[in-house]
Chain A
């Protein structure tokens, strides 16, 4: 029996006046680390705010960790951590005080909130600086404080909205490590919204791609990267006539061969392994490399975004 989804949306929509910002969205997000991708204005942040109950959906319904987002937002917020996209802090308080306050607001008794605040601030790498007012922190430190306040109450689900924004490469690396650790080793489910594909690729094992408020692609990252055609990059060597014969045999079997940089040939078509091996043997060419093409997340994203609007699963 498969685990219940952490997020389940049923024809969820959100309108701002006449403008539809989201949906209708039907979506099930499994436990684990899920990337939420989409170009600017795709509805990622609106979706996250809907999931937290910060924004009331116009129609449809949804549950997060089994709690209805419209009817039980307080119960779900006790179990969800939120890392907002915007720079936000409580003025004139230190990181230790801010994180303690956020823990208490999430329902932790004060002694527990104080202890947890120091634990998570240690975890995100804020040492003595935790006693300084957050207003004087660098952008990287503020992002770490935002992560600390999001996990102080030990949430089951962490909603991260552009967590590596404004970070230098070292801080970004550290942030990604922390997020990956929380998801992989601490068992927290993570929804990671970003337009930085490489970050999502490093942290997530599932992705949901939004465009214009609708889901246009979703699934396991490994499946999406495999690609539909199952293309193969091959490298062959032999006399020119043999190579020509090889290409002719491939063409006859319905396999397209496109020259790539560095002498490789990208083959696409049915039953590639058998057809290519037979064509090489019959034409007398040496098959020196035969490697399935693994699309990057960027390929998947660009392909999904460029395709005409035909929502995948999400309505």
Chain B
């Protein structure tokens, strides 16, 4: 019992505007989902690749300095470079190391997202997303939410922002941290001006991952009442889509990537294709690949068989359809219960 029972008191403050009400929901959702110890541990793990890529950036930071190259000219490091890239490319690199910064930075950050972080997105979304809408439907929290001065759109945006936030913690944030680290390791400030384009590219790819995974997960959460089952289904469907794409690719387009549209079937391949285009990997690496058969083979291995614009269109269509499903499921809570 309180020491002083003050009873009911009037409130005479000033209300905040309605434009950012979704942020209240998002913040509450982030706080609530952030209580999961599994999520916390996994995010820590998702940042581990930074150690490896941090070392890589330290090395390229040094190598792309003209002073370093000039100082090392004629020493054994040159032979290592020639061994790695082949003599023509190594010579070209030695002539203008700083000019290769945009290509190397973009390629490394693309690899960082391609190899580890997309997998982390799948897991994070599986950990965070399944309960977001299903629990609100089950506990009828929607009735409480929508009796407040918020719209269905506020609700959906708020919930989507929760997924986006956590996806951002394994994509945008570590990628930006990695970039900041790479700049910090670079002996000259020029590295920043040469590579600043990486920041909007990382942001764009991360946004694609956020919306492209968040919207379908919200829709599934609005449809599937069992969060645990949904988490497994999500991960299973993601992995199976990669397997299906690979099998279809081998069956329909054996030995060639030309016109191979089967990447569209794979969730990962679609995001890879978008990242490949956004980072302009082909445009940045093609000149170097023309004098290095090894680099050319690597580039062709990563080049998507289909036009990445198809992946963008597919992503937008899936996101729009998913949000429509959520909107229908959320509906007007009163309508459903009054029937």
Contacts and interface: CB of A to CB of B under 8 A. Distances in A.
User: Are A and B a genuine interacting pair, yes or no?
Assistant: yes
A86 interface: yes
* Chain B at the A interface: SS class: loop
Contacts of B135: 91
Interface stretch (A26-34, A45-53, A287-295): A45-53
B339 to A, nearest CB: 5
| A78, A91, A97, A149 interface centre (most CB from chain B within 10 Å) | A91
B7 interface: yes
| B13, B24, B135, B148 interface centre (most CB from chain A within 10 Å) | B148
Contact of A127 (B2, B15, B136): B2
A309 interface: no
A261 B335 CA distance: 49
B334 A49 contact: yes
Interface string B1-27: 110011111110111111001001100
A49 B141 CA distance: 15
Nearest to B339: A16
Interface of B: 1-2, 5-11, 13-18, 21, 24-25, 28, 32, 35, 131, 135-136, 138-151, 332-335, 337-339
A92 B32 contact: yes
Contacts of B131: 91
A49 B338 contact: yes
Interface in A110-150: 112, 116, 119-120, 122-123, 127, 135, 149
A116 B110 CA distance: 48
B151 A74 contact: yes
B148 A86 contact: no
A90 B8 contact: no
| B6, B11, B140 interface centre (most CB from chain A within 10 Å) | B11
Given A52-B147, A107-B149, A122-B2, A89 B332 contact: no
Given A75-B149, A90-B139, A108-B11, A102 B144 contact: yes
A285 interface: no
Contacts of A269: none
Contact of A182 (B8, B16, B144, B146): B8
B18 A84 contact: no
A105 B10 contact: no
Given A77-B147, A88-B143, A127 B1 contact: yes
A181 interface: yes
A259 to B, nearest CB: 47
B123 to A, nearest CB: 21
A54 B334 contact: yes
Contacts of A238: none
A128 B10 CA distance: 23
A215 interface: no
A186 B10 contact: yes
A107 B141 contact: no
Nearest to B35: A92
B335 A93 contact: no
